[in-house]
A and B are shown apart, each in its own frame.
Chain A
Amino acid sequence: MSATVVRGVRSNRRRVRTPLTSKRNALLLLLPVLLLILIYKYGPIVQAMWASLNSYSVAGSPIGFVGMDNFGLVLKDPAFINSLLLTGAFVTIKIPLQIALGISAAMLLRRTSAYNAFVRVTLVLPAVTPVAIIGVIFLFLFDREVGLTNAVISGLGLPRVGWLTQPGTAQLVVTLASVWRDAGFTMLIYLAGLTAIPAEVMEAAKVDGASGWQLTSRVILPLLQRSTQLAVVTTTIGAFQYFAPIFVLTKGGPQGSTDVASFHIYQAAFVFFDQGAANAMALILVLLIIAVTAIELWLLRSRWEY
């Protein structure tokens, strides 16, 4: 009897731990993909870290280990520091502008209707348009001589503006292009957030006599904190990595006014072939992104559950 029980237990264990369902076998089956991710996603990061600690010839062949020298050199390079400051300014202007636009659009378009659906699609369209094409669109809009904007301005009898040839206006155009592209995506985040707010909470606030403004500022916006956290973090990361429209529109100019960090790093790596410095700059940028997003995540941590 007991022997039968033991056999029965064994038999059950065998049935439960068949090779196809055990964790070890699952891991074995996942291993090829995990290795690919490791090699192609994290491998280059490790490679970049190693490259930043080495010196390279102009031909790209390693000369030798230099420790933190590349970091010291790039942090003393006024052009790189300037590119970081420009990036900081860009991020600081872009985030509030984009969040304000995204949240306003979401509030205005939150009700379901054919008109709202159409406007939502229109607003999201730039987010799915290739960034290089956005650069070309803005080139047609803001070219000094043939751009649509100056056609209107000169039609009104006013002097043409060198939108892309003067530092201040070029920075403005580049920021506009970025916000225009990404505001639709931010709106989607907030629309999802608005849908998640329970109707009872809104009803209760109305019953308590909350006005429209009170409902928005005291109920809706606080409850959208998690959406804000996501929107701010994704916007920050995107802003730090902003590259393609600058490549098409200004190539870092005029007079270095749009030479943001990502473009500066591209130039160092692929135009000036300074691999050690380019990798050091890229890692500094990554560390900055991590630090800024960590602060944002902490500051915007959710204080309310619903």
Chain B
Amino acid sequence: MNKQIARRSLLVNGGLAGLAAIVGPSFLTGCAPANTGSSSAKPSTMTGLWVPYDTLIQGSQAAMAGFIGSNQISFQLNTVPWADWDRTIRAFPQQSTVPDVVIADGPALQGYAANDILAPLDEFFTKEDLGDFLGGTTPSATWKGKFYGPATNESSQALVYNKAILDKHGITPPTELAKAWTWKELREIMLDIQAKERKARGDDQFWGIFVGQGNFLAGATYTGLNIVRSNGAKDSKTYQAISENGLSVAGYADTDEAMEAYHFLQDLYNADGLSPQSKSPDFFYNNQIAFWITNPDVAIGGIAKNAPSMNWGVSPHPYFKTPIVQTDSYHLAVPKNAKSIEWSAKLIADMVSGQNAKILAEKQQAIPMRKSLLTELPYLQDEHMKVFTDTVAEWAVPRPVTPGWSEYDSTYTQMLQDIATGADIQKTVSGAVQSIETKLARYKGIVG
């Protein structure tokens, strides 16, 4: 009898214990409220979530070494693939444990701030700091007057060219911003070079230009929109691209000037055939393309890796009426439910101050996030970096600032790609504008 009770009790208790062991932790994790209280006590360990780019990781580690060393904090840096990045950050409010510091893409910052995912950090930066951060990086990081995190560096875009091919055709592109080509001038040059090269090579595998980083035809919002916005005067809606509150593109993305630019883009891929209908930038490395609009990381890193012996140069980004280059890069930010917002913010402020800001830029061989450093880093005046640096100083603007960046960016990018593949421009633009309007309208309650 006792044995039976003991066996039954063993089964019942064992079963319940097993259940608790298996289901319990998931319930606890799933149901735990997000950590809302932030401590000011110095943590012994901190964690960071970075994009898996070696130069950014090395630069960040070097820039934080002093702070974590002097405060005897151990810092664990984890990475998440870029494709999963946005979803990972958006899940922070539902998590009980989040990283202390996170890298966020500049244009998406306002959306994270509007959705209460990140903590405002303005009290950890002086007025001088905020004024010294480059203008292309601060608007997207500012939401309702509060600052949500500095950039790790600034990006830039320019017209990279294959010098050997241009030399062969007696073309010397300008290197000063004031002498930058217009799109019309560049088109004529490209048509000429393309025809001659194709004839000499005996095939059609040579093109005038590759627009953007390669994931989308027409260069996505980052590059393609430069072309469109440049067809308006500085005070025009075409140049502004989005309404001041970031919630409307009707009357901005579909102006006559914008439509004219879309036609130019479509011709680039179709009637003129100056750009390949393919997403691989390898064409440039393989001497199959004369020009490439890209950023310094991709150009310098990509060419060094894929075509180290290539003789190449950099010319300012072409434009229609007004020179414009959209910039911004990764930012350092703090999740609102981080265990110590104060210490996370102190670490970030230290990483982008004084010598550390310099180290952060130097290790990446990138353009720094501060205006004051533009003249202090010798490599910025190198043959390949000077045009990119000058562009940041004179032409840089942020991408359209909106809390609904993800919705805007994906819809606009798809629209540009459809135009590049020959879609009816009027219908495509009208559909995209309507779709963006609907999606951004959901933010009306948040913007106020």
Contacts and interface: CB of A to CB of B under 8 A. Distances in A.
Given A32-B18, A271-B406, A144 B11 contact: no
A254 interface: yes
B280 A143 contact: yes
B61 to A, nearest CB: 31
Give chain A's interface residue range (CB within 8 Å of chain B): 35 or more
Interface string A12-25: 00000001100001
Given A58-B442, A59-B115, A60-B90, A254 B417 contact: yes
Interface string A137-166: 000000111100000001000001010011
A267 B116 CA distance: 22
Contact of B87 (A31, A166, A270, A272): A270
Nearest to B4: A19
Contact of A35 (B4, B23, B276, B403): B23
Given A253-B417, A254-B421, A36 B22 contact: yes
Interface string B258-276: 0000000000000000001
Interface of B: 4, 7-8, 11-12, 15, 18-19, 22-23, 26, 87, 90, 93-94, 111, 114-117, 204-205, 217, 276-280, 283, 403-404, 406-407, 410, 414, 417-418, 420-423, 428, 435, 439, 442-443, 445-446
Interface in A150-188: 154, 160, 162, 165-166
Contacts of B12: 28
B442 to A, nearest CB: 5
Given A32-B19, A59-B93, A144-B277, A165 B421 contact: yes
A195 interface: no
29 contacts: A19-B8, A19-B11, A20-B7, A20-B11, A25-B11, A28-B12, A31-B15, A35-B22, A35-B23, A39-B26, A57-B115, A58-B111, A58-B115, A58-B442, A59-B114, A60-B94, A144-B277, A144-B278, A145-B278, A160-B204, A165-B217, A165-B422, A251-B414, A252-B414, A253-B417, A254-B417, A255-B421, A255-B428, A267-B410
A154 B202 CA distance: 13
Contacts of A160: 204
Nearest to B15: A28
Contacts of A162: 277, 421-422
Contacts of A252: 414
A79 B404 CA distance: 20
Contacts of A143: 278-280
A155 to B, nearest CB: 10
A146 B420 CA distance: 18
Contacts of A28: 11-12, 15
